[in-house]
Structure 1
């Protein structure tokens, strides 16, 4: 058994040697051949060295705030190796002392070049943030200097909340209502009521009389059904954007809604 294992590991020695030359592995000196009483898995030991990629850290997305402003300004800076990968080292106190930024206070007044360390020390992080809003060239070196503004966290929260609530205007939003060509009377009334609700809120509505199955109505019957729907929706229709037309075997039409509060 031991002899077979030794022969098997010996067959891998050329491969391990090539890996060592490529820098992916280091082959330690082989142990002596198997001897009686030795452990059965005594074989040349392989020490794998982890590959370290020193790629530049990814540039953060969104506006830079507080300490991230200095870290970005000092890029690429030094790196530290953590778990086999490089990470941006945090700025040292000496590095931070060299960072100056153009400061705009909460009232919008430009205070000129200011030491960034002093701004961070005076910052109440529970209430405010220093946010980079632009860059401006240095008057002497022409290097790009961050322009930071003091913005309250409440103002930032309100801005994000308002952006989430912002929706597209109803007249720019299109809804679609499909009606089968062989629909029952009650289902037809339900579909028309749904389209009427959309139009009364100002939405654009695309109406489609859908051809379903082999035993459907003739084109004339579909045209009559579409015209009946248009007549029922006329009180809440501001404009017929696209008149009835055939798309394959289906009939479509697009209407612009008229809000109920605009009716006289």
Structure 2
């Protein structure tokens, strides 16, 4: 939570004031705004310091901080973090090995994670990138019940990369 200026920390000469009931008081001097806040035994909080003149509100700062921290915690609870798992393949991988990797990718996708499938090329294999593209298409067919292709196979340096996403949350 960002720290706001309160009471004596506010250095502006004039402020646009919102009182404790939420009504606009207009532009008043900082001294008058502090006096009004002291009368109501509340804090003067600068809620929009960038505005010209700055917008200040008369509120109970402790209660305000408590409520905003509580809202932030609630919003963090509702967030789902999606991790990207990587599976590396070689262009001349055996059929059974490919099925094992596909099974592992299906596990990741069923948990809601994204899967980045990478085919690494070395030496003369770079001349046969079509094999890698075909391999990734076969791999996409093996995981079709749990996932969909989010990013089509594309070369990035010496690797061909495809990104898969689970179709459970779609």
TM range (shorter): 0.5 to 0.7
Q: Is the 8 A contact 1:206 1:254 kept in 2?
A: yes
Q: CA deviation at 1:234?
A: 0.3
2:48 corresponds in structure 1 to 134
Matches within 5 A, 1:22-41: none
- Give distance in 2, aligned partners of 1:147 and 1:195: 54
Of 42, 53, 70, 1:144 maps to: 53
Return the alpha-carbon distance in structure 2 between the equivalents of residues 145 and 243 of structure 1: 50
User: Which among 209, 212, 222 is matched to residue 119 of structure 2?
Assistant: 209
How many residue pairs match? The answer is 157
> Unaligned regions of 5+ residues in structure 1, if any?
1-60, 75-98, 138-142
Residue of structure 1 in register with 2:105 after alignment: 195
SS at match of 1:73: coil
Please say if 1:103 is aligned against 2:53. no
Deviation, structure 1 residue 101: 6.0
Aligned to 2:12: 73
Structure 2 portions without partners, runs of 5+: none
* More contact order relative to length (CA 8 Å, sep ≥ 6): 2
**Taking structure 2 as the reference length, what is the TM-score of the superposition?**
0.61
Aligned mate of 1:156, from 60, 63, 68 = 68
Q: CA RMSD in A?
A: 4.2
Distance (whole Å) between structure 1 residues aligned to residue 142 and residue 154 of structure 2: 18
Contact 1:101–1:115, Cα closer than 8 Å, also in 2: no
